[in-house]
Amino acid sequence: MKTKYVLLVSVLALVTAQMSFAGSLKGKVAPGKSVVYLESAAPVPVTTDKPVTMDQKGLSFQPHVMVIQLGTTVEFLNSDKVQHNVFWPSISGDKKKTHNMGTWPQGQKKAFKFNDPGVVTLLCNVHPEMAGYIIVSPTPYFAETDANGAYSIANVPDGQYTVNAWHEGKKISSKKITVTGDTSADFTLQ
Protein backbone atom coordinates (compact mmCIF):
# COMPACT_ATOMS: atom_id res chain seq x y z
CA MET A 1 0.00 0.00 0.00
CA LYS A 2 2.83 2.38 0.89
CA THR A 3 4.46 1.71 -2.53
CA LYS A 4 1.24 2.68 -4.34
CA TYR A 5 1.04 5.89 -2.32
CA VAL A 6 4.65 6.82 -3.11
CA LEU A 7 4.05 6.06 -6.80
CA LEU A 8 0.89 8.22 -6.84
CA VAL A 9 2.67 11.12 -5.13
CA SER A 10 5.57 10.82 -7.62
CA VAL A 11 3.22 10.87 -10.62
CA LEU A 12 1.34 13.89 -9.25
CA ALA A 13 4.62 15.72 -8.63
CA LEU A 14 5.76 15.01 -12.20
CA VAL A 15 2.45 16.22 -13.70
CA THR A 16 2.53 19.36 -11.55
CA ALA A 17 6.14 20.05 -12.54
CA GLN A 18 5.33 19.68 -16.23
CA MET A 19 2.34 22.00 -15.92
CA SER A 20 4.45 24.67 -14.22
CA PHE A 21 6.90 24.73 -17.14
CA ALA A 22 4.38 25.96 -19.69
CA GLY A 23 3.70 29.52 -20.63
CA SER A 24 2.16 31.46 -23.45
CA LEU A 25 3.42 33.07 -26.60
CA LYS A 26 1.84 36.39 -27.49
CA GLY A 27 2.54 39.08 -30.00
CA LYS A 28 1.42 41.00 -33.02
CA VAL A 29 1.79 40.44 -36.76
CA ALA A 30 1.67 43.24 -39.32
CA PRO A 31 -0.32 43.15 -41.49
CA GLY A 32 -3.20 41.77 -39.43
CA LYS A 33 -5.25 38.57 -40.01
CA SER A 34 -2.32 36.17 -40.19
CA VAL A 35 -1.37 32.71 -38.89
CA VAL A 36 1.36 31.99 -36.32
CA TYR A 37 2.66 28.48 -35.60
CA LEU A 38 5.56 26.88 -33.76
CA GLU A 39 8.05 24.27 -34.92
CA SER A 40 9.93 22.19 -32.37
CA ALA A 41 13.13 20.19 -32.67
CA ALA A 42 11.59 17.55 -30.40
CA PRO A 43 8.87 15.33 -31.87
CA VAL A 44 5.35 16.41 -30.92
CA PRO A 45 2.58 13.81 -30.90
CA VAL A 46 -0.55 14.37 -32.96
CA THR A 47 -3.29 15.43 -30.59
CA THR A 48 -6.29 15.24 -32.89
CA ASP A 49 -8.15 12.49 -34.65
CA LYS A 50 -11.32 14.49 -35.32
CA PRO A 51 -11.74 15.52 -38.98
CA VAL A 52 -12.44 19.14 -39.89
CA THR A 53 -14.45 20.42 -42.86
CA MET A 54 -13.38 22.75 -45.64
CA ASP A 55 -16.54 23.71 -47.54
CA GLN A 56 -16.90 24.86 -51.12
CA LYS A 57 -19.82 27.25 -50.98
CA GLY A 58 -20.71 30.32 -53.02
CA LEU A 59 -17.83 29.48 -55.38
CA SER A 60 -15.30 29.94 -52.58
CA PHE A 61 -13.41 27.86 -50.04
CA GLN A 62 -14.88 28.35 -46.57
CA PRO A 63 -13.09 29.15 -44.42
CA HIS A 64 -10.69 30.98 -46.72
CA VAL A 65 -7.81 30.11 -44.34
CA MET A 66 -7.77 27.02 -42.10
CA VAL A 67 -5.05 26.07 -39.63
CA ILE A 68 -4.68 22.41 -38.62
CA GLN A 69 -2.14 20.24 -36.86
CA LEU A 70 -0.07 17.74 -38.81
CA GLY A 71 -1.97 14.44 -39.10
CA THR A 72 -5.43 16.04 -39.29
CA THR A 73 -7.96 14.79 -41.84
CA VAL A 74 -9.79 17.49 -43.79
CA GLU A 75 -13.15 16.62 -45.33
CA PHE A 76 -13.76 18.71 -48.44
CA LEU A 77 -17.51 19.30 -48.83
CA ASN A 78 -19.20 20.62 -51.96
CA SER A 79 -22.23 22.69 -50.89
CA ASP A 80 -22.67 24.35 -54.32
CA LYS A 81 -25.07 23.16 -57.02
CA VAL A 82 -22.14 22.89 -59.44
CA GLN A 83 -19.26 20.42 -59.42
CA HIS A 84 -15.97 21.43 -57.88
CA ASN A 85 -12.43 20.12 -58.08
CA VAL A 86 -9.85 20.46 -55.31
CA PHE A 87 -6.13 20.34 -55.96
CA TRP A 88 -2.91 21.88 -54.69
CA PRO A 89 0.20 22.37 -56.84
CA SER A 90 2.61 22.01 -53.87
CA ILE A 91 3.01 22.19 -50.11
CA SER A 92 5.25 25.12 -49.19
CA GLY A 93 6.68 25.12 -52.71
CA ASP A 94 7.52 21.38 -52.79
CA LYS A 95 5.99 20.30 -56.11
CA LYS A 96 6.50 16.62 -55.23
CA LYS A 97 3.63 17.11 -52.76
CA THR A 98 1.04 18.10 -55.36
CA HIS A 99 -2.32 16.38 -55.14
CA ASN A 100 -5.55 16.39 -57.17
CA MET A 101 -8.66 15.12 -55.38
CA GLY A 102 -10.80 15.09 -58.50
CA THR A 103 -14.26 16.53 -59.09
CA TRP A 104 -17.49 15.79 -57.24
CA PRO A 105 -21.09 17.06 -57.08
CA GLN A 106 -23.11 18.90 -54.44
CA GLY A 107 -23.51 17.26 -51.05
CA GLN A 108 -20.55 14.93 -51.36
CA LYS A 109 -17.31 14.97 -49.35
CA LYS A 110 -13.81 13.74 -50.05
CA ALA A 111 -11.27 13.38 -47.25
CA PHE A 112 -7.50 13.86 -47.16
CA LYS A 113 -5.11 13.39 -44.22
CA PHE A 114 -2.33 16.01 -44.16
CA ASN A 115 0.94 14.35 -43.13
CA ASP A 116 3.27 17.09 -44.40
CA PRO A 117 3.61 20.45 -42.64
CA GLY A 118 3.47 23.71 -44.56
CA VAL A 119 1.25 26.01 -46.58
CA VAL A 120 -1.27 24.33 -48.90
CA THR A 121 -2.78 26.56 -51.59
CA LEU A 122 -6.17 25.11 -52.56
CA LEU A 123 -7.41 25.60 -56.11
CA CYS A 124 -10.33 24.42 -58.28
CA ASN A 125 -9.78 23.39 -61.91
CA VAL A 126 -13.46 24.08 -62.68
CA HIS A 127 -13.45 27.59 -61.18
CA PRO A 128 -10.00 29.21 -61.51
CA GLU A 129 -11.12 32.22 -59.44
CA MET A 130 -11.39 29.99 -56.34
CA ALA A 131 -8.50 29.85 -53.89
CA GLY A 132 -8.10 28.96 -50.23
CA TYR A 133 -5.34 27.99 -47.82
CA ILE A 134 -4.64 25.29 -45.29
CA ILE A 135 -1.71 25.89 -42.95
CA VAL A 136 -0.48 22.55 -41.57
CA SER A 137 1.33 23.16 -38.29
CA PRO A 138 3.86 20.55 -37.13
CA THR A 139 2.78 21.19 -33.51
CA PRO A 140 -0.49 21.89 -31.70
CA TYR A 141 0.86 25.37 -30.93
CA PHE A 142 -0.73 27.71 -33.48
CA ALA A 143 -3.15 30.61 -33.70
CA GLU A 144 -4.92 32.85 -36.15
CA THR A 145 -4.50 36.51 -35.35
CA ASP A 146 -7.38 38.90 -34.89
CA ALA A 147 -8.01 41.64 -37.45
CA ASN A 148 -5.36 43.82 -35.75
CA GLY A 149 -2.71 41.05 -35.89
CA ALA A 150 -2.74 40.14 -32.18
CA TYR A 151 -2.30 36.48 -31.26
CA SER A 152 -1.90 34.28 -28.21
CA ILE A 153 -0.86 30.63 -27.97
CA ALA A 154 -1.44 29.12 -24.52
CA ASN A 155 0.19 26.18 -22.71
CA VAL A 156 3.44 26.20 -24.69
CA PRO A 157 6.02 24.04 -22.86
CA ASP A 158 9.26 25.83 -22.06
CA GLY A 159 11.88 25.15 -24.71
CA GLN A 160 13.46 26.10 -28.03
CA TYR A 161 11.16 26.76 -31.01
CA THR A 162 11.00 28.35 -34.41
CA VAL A 163 7.96 30.60 -34.59
CA ASN A 164 6.55 31.24 -38.07
CA ALA A 165 4.14 33.94 -39.24
CA TRP A 166 2.17 33.62 -42.49
CA HIS A 167 -0.13 36.03 -44.30
CA GLU A 168 -1.69 35.57 -47.72
CA GLY A 169 0.54 37.10 -50.40
CA LYS A 170 3.49 37.67 -48.03
CA LYS A 171 6.66 35.69 -47.38
CA ILE A 172 6.69 33.50 -44.27
CA SER A 173 8.77 35.09 -41.53
CA SER A 174 10.54 32.86 -38.97
CA LYS A 175 12.35 33.51 -35.70
CA LYS A 176 14.16 31.26 -33.25
CA ILE A 177 12.82 31.76 -29.74
CA THR A 178 13.13 30.33 -26.28
CA VAL A 179 9.85 30.04 -24.42
CA THR A 180 10.23 30.45 -20.67
CA GLY A 181 6.89 31.24 -19.10
CA ASP A 182 5.15 34.07 -20.90
CA THR A 183 7.09 35.08 -24.01
CA SER A 184 6.40 37.48 -26.86
CA ALA A 185 7.31 37.64 -30.54
CA ASP A 186 6.20 40.31 -33.03
CA PHE A 187 6.45 40.20 -36.83
CA THR A 188 6.31 42.59 -39.77
CA LEU A 189 5.74 40.59 -42.96
CA GLN A 190 7.08 41.76 -46.32
55-107 pLDDT, tens digit per residue, is 999 999 999 999 999 999 999 999 999 999 999 999 999 999 999 999 999 99
Range scoring the smallest mean pLDDT among 3-12, 111-120, 166-175? 3-12
Query: Phi first, then psi: what are they for 119, rounded to 5°?
Result: -100, 125
List the domain boundaries for the chain. 19-44+145-190, 46-137
Residue 74 main-chain phi, psi, to 5 deg: -105, 130
Tell me which CATH code domain 46-137 carries: 2.60.40.420
**Rounded mean pLDDT, 9-31:** 66
In percent, the amount of the chain with pLDDT more than 90 equals 82
Q: Using CA atoms, how far apart are residues 166 and 78, in angstroms rounded to an integer?
A: 27
**How crowded is residue 117: how many other Cβ atoms within 10 Å of its Cβ?**
20
- The percentage of residues in the chain with a pLDDT greater than 70, rounded to a whole number, is 89
pLDDT bracket for residue 125 (50, 70, 90): very high
- Return the pLDDT at 9: 40
pLDDT at 14: 39
Find, among 183, 145, 144, the residue nearest to 161 by Cα.
183
* Single-letter code of the amino acid located at 35: V
Tell me the pLDDT band of 22, cut-offs 50, 70 and 90: confident
Whether residue 172 has pLDDT greater than 90: yes
For the 19-44+145-190 domain, the top CATH level (class) is mainly beta
DSSP string, the chain: -HHHHHHHHHHHHHHHHHHHTEEEEEEEEESSS-EEEEEESS---------EEEEEETTEEESSEEEEETT-EEEEEE-SSS-EEEEES-BTTBGGG-EEEEEE-TT-EEEEE--S-EEEEEE-SS-TT-EEEEEEESSS-EEE--TTSEEEEEEEESEEEEEEEE-TTS--EEEEEEE-SSEE--EE--
pLDDT in the model for residue 2: 54
Same fold, 19-44+145-190 and 46-137: yes
| pLDDT of residue 32 exceeding 80 | yes
Tell whether the model's pLDDT for residue 5 goes beyond 70.
no
Can you say how many angstroms the Cα of residue 87 is from the centroid of all Cα atoms in its chain? 19
| Amino acid 188: pLDDT | 94
